[in-house]
């Protein structure tokens, strides 16, 4: 280990912060060294004769150890108590009064509504598709999914690792109903929500007596079961091939195509596919806002308060006459319903769905958005979704980095690394998420934010 001091530090240094930091850094570097031998230092490749050859990359290991040593040293040398403690108590957002919050809310909404038109005006017809579709629609789908999961995880405190299953149920319900019975998107949408809620209840009945880790594992398994059924029930779902040709949504019966009855012709506009994209943007915006509105309303209703009480103390809930099974089932099915709506939208937006879109990774991303945002906080979750999904999309924009790192460098491949880093940084800096305080659902005189130290995360 070239970077680690081989001799023990002098006795005087042992107790000083610098000495401790040095020791810590050396240990971290040693650990990195040990970990990187099997996964980085030794690499197996195939040569021209299809034989395995072993290549070693000790230079890379040395660089990695040095980086870890320096970072860990820097971390250790930041005076304890000033860095960590103030960062934790620092408020992410300045404190606003109720009127300012109201103004900000409407301004944000106006900006969202104007967003596709702004994008169209600033980047032109062909340039704006990327901004409206990849950034706008994609982010809003995840905002909606995360808000839906927030009901289950953030409010009711039930750790659900299989949320993507309900997304899949919604998408496949829409695809199959539309293809088989020729139903329009606007009829499929509520049906998809109902189907997903039904599956939420079906899953909920057997598993809701489980708590914490056990619940998480069973929901994870449920997500996989749905995916495997979709893959293997080829007659019904098309298997890996998926379902294609899902009808696109219409503008209240007017299709978005170049025909004389199409949207552009009816409104006397020149035909371009951008109108459909803009329309889809407004549809998902409306769906996401519906999720948000329902969640905010539910939080102030007895059902929502019972969810939060359940997260705080289930036994106390039972002693107050709350039927915890029904309350949990309500959380599961309402959360699933919004997942189903998002799935229905996804199916009609893509026009093609396959089991590939509903892997565990999706559940993990949605859950990490909820955790990063601050469980239970609507604003925090929305910010986290913008940062995580928008950030991923932004990585695609960094093609200029190829000039620095060579042509084989693909920034989008570092998505998971960035995710992981963001997660670690947030968990150190704000262990309870971006917005960790809880806003009370009702107040007599003054609305006071409740510190996350008192709020529990729920045990399942």
Partner 1 sequence: MAVPASMPSPLLTIEHLSMRFGGLIAVNDLSFTAHRGQITALIGPNGAGKTTVFNCITGFYKPTAGRILLTHGSPPPADSLRALMGTGRREIRYTGGSAYLLERMPDHDITARARVARTFQNIRLFAGMTVLENLLVAQHNTLMRASGFSIRGLLGTAGYRAAETRAVDKARGWLERIGLIDRADDPAGDLPYGDQRRLEIARAMCTNPVLLCLDEPAAGLNPRESAELGTLLRSIRTEDETSILLIEHDMSVVMEISDHVIVLEYGVGIADGTPEEIRNDPKVIAAYLGVEDDEVAEAEAEAGL
Residues that bind partner 1 (CB under 8 A): 294, 297-298, 301-303, 305-306, 308-309, 312-313, 315-324, 330, 438, 440-448, 450-451, 454-456
Residue 337 beta carbon to partner 1: minimum distance, rounded to whole angstroms? 13
Structure tokens given for 250? 């219409």
Count of CB atoms within 10 A of residue 236's CB?
12
Q: Yes or no: say if 197 and 337 are a contact pair by the CB < 8 Å rule.
A: yes
Q: Which long-range contacts does 232-241 make (Cβ < 8 Å, 24+ apart)?
A: 236/176, 237/172, 237/176, 237/355, 238/354, 239/355, 240/354, 240/355, 240/356, 241/354
Residue 310 beta carbon to partner 1: minimum distance, rounded to whole angstroms? 9
To which H or E segment does residue 45 belong? strand 42-46
Residue 142 beta carbon to partner 1: minimum distance, rounded to whole angstroms? 25
What's 130's DSSP letter?
I
- Closer to partner 1 at the Cβ: 90 or 454? 454
Residue 284 beta carbon to partner 1: minimum distance, rounded to whole angstroms? 21
Count of CB atoms within 10 A of residue 252's CB?
8
Residue 159 beta carbon to partner 1: minimum distance, rounded to whole angstroms? 17
- Closer to partner 1 at the Cβ: 293 or 405? 293
**CA 65 centroid distance within chain:** 32
- Closer to partner 1 at the Cβ: 176 or 330? 330
Where does 164-300 show beta strands of DSSP type E? 243-244
Q: Is 37 helix (H, G, I), strand (E, B) or coil?
A: helix
The CA distance from 143 to 291, in Å, is 10
Which segments of 43-97 does DSSP mark as H helices, in order? 58-77, 83-89
Residue 330 beta carbon to partner 1: minimum distance, rounded to whole angstroms? 8
- Closer to partner 1 at the Cβ: 99 or 445? 445
| DSSP for 299-325, written as a single string | HTSHHHHHHHHHHH-HHHHHHTT--HH
Residue 334 beta carbon to partner 1: minimum distance, rounded to whole angstroms? 9
Residue 439 beta carbon to partner 1: minimum distance, rounded to whole angstroms? 10
Residue 320 beta carbon to partner 1: minimum distance, rounded to whole angstroms? 5
Residue 321 beta carbon to partner 1: minimum distance, rounded to whole angstroms? 3
Q: Yes or no: say if 410 and 179 are a contact pair by the CB < 8 Å rule.
A: no
- Closer to partner 1 at the Cβ: 123 or 324? 324
The tally of CA atoms less than 13 A away on the side-chain side of residue 417 is 6
- Closer to partner 1 at the Cβ: 319 or 407? 319
- Closer to partner 1 at the Cβ: 24 or 312? 312
Residue 178 beta carbon to partner 1: minimum distance, rounded to whole angstroms? 28
For residue 21, which of 65, 83, 74 has the smallest C-alpha distance? 74
- Closer to partner 1 at the Cβ: 245 or 440? 440
- Closer to partner 1 at the Cβ: 15 or 445? 445
- Closer to partner 1 at the Cβ: 47 or 446? 446
Residue 35: partners with Cβ closer than 8 Å, 6 or more residues away: none
For residue 344, which of 332, 331, 353, 355 has the smallest C-alpha distance? 353
Count of CB atoms within 10 A of residue 177's CB?
21
The CA distance from 421 to 337, in Å, is 32
Maximal C-alpha separation, the chain:
88
- Closer to partner 1 at the Cβ: 26 or 298? 298
For residue 155, which of 352, 322, 343, 310 has the smallest C-alpha distance? 310
């Amino acid at each position: 280990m070239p970077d680690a001091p081989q001799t023990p530090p002098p006795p005087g240094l042992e107790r000083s912060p610098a000495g401790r930091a040095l020791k810590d850094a050396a240990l971290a570097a040693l650990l990195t060294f040990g970990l990187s031998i099997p996964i980085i230092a030794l690499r197996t490749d195939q040569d021209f004769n299809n034989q395995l050859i072993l290549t070693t990359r000790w230079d890379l290991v040395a660089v990695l150890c040095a980086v870890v040593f320096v970072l860990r040293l820097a971390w250790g040398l930041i005076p304890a108590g000033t860095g960590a403690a103030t960062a934790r108590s620092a408020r992410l957002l300045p404190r606003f009064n109720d009127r300012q919050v109201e103004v900000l809310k409407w301004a944000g909404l106006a900006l969202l509504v104007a967003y596709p038109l702004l994008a169209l005006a600033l980047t032109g017809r062909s340039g704006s598709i990327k901004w409206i579709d990849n950034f706008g629609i994609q982010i809003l789908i995840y905002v909606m999914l995360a808000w839906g999961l927030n009901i289950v995880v953030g409010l009711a405190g039930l750790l659900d690792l299989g949320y993507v299953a309900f997304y899949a149920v919604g998408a496949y319900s829409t695809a199959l109903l539309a293809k088989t019975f020729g139903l329009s998107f606007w009829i499929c949408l509520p049906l998809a929500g109902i189907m997903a809620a039904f599956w939420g209840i079906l899953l909920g009945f057997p598993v809701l007596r489980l708590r914490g880790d056990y619940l998480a594992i069973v929901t994870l398994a449920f997500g996989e079961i749905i995916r495997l059924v979709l893959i293997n029930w080829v007659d019904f779902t098309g298997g890996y091939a998926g379902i294609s040709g899902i009808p696109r949504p219409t503008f209240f019966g007017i299709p978005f195509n170049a025909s004389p009855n199409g949207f552009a012709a009816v409104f006397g506009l020149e035909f371009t596919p951008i109108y459909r994209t803009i329309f889809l943007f407004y549809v998902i915006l409306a769906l996401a806002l519906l999720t948000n509105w329902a969640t905010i309303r539910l939080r102030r209703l007895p059902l929502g308060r019972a969810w939060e009480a359940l997260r705080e103390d289930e036994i106390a809930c039972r002693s107050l006459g709350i039927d915890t099974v029904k309350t949990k089932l309500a959380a599961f099915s309402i959360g699933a319903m919004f997942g189903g709506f998002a799935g229905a939208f996804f199916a009609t937006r893509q026009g093609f769905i396959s089991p590939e879109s509903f892997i565990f990774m999706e559940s993990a991303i949605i859950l990490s958005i909820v955790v990063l945002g601050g469980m239970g906080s609507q604003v925090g979750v929305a910010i986290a979704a913008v940062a995580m999904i928008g950030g991923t999309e932004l990585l695609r924009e960094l093609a200029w980095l190829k000039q620095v790192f060579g042509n084989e460098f693909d920034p989008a491949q570092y998505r998971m690394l960035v995710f992981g880093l963001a997660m670690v940084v947030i968990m150190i800096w704000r262990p309870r998420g971006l917005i960790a305080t809880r806003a009370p659902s009702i107040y007599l005189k003054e609305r006071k934010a409740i510190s996350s130290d008192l709020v529990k995360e729920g045990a399942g």
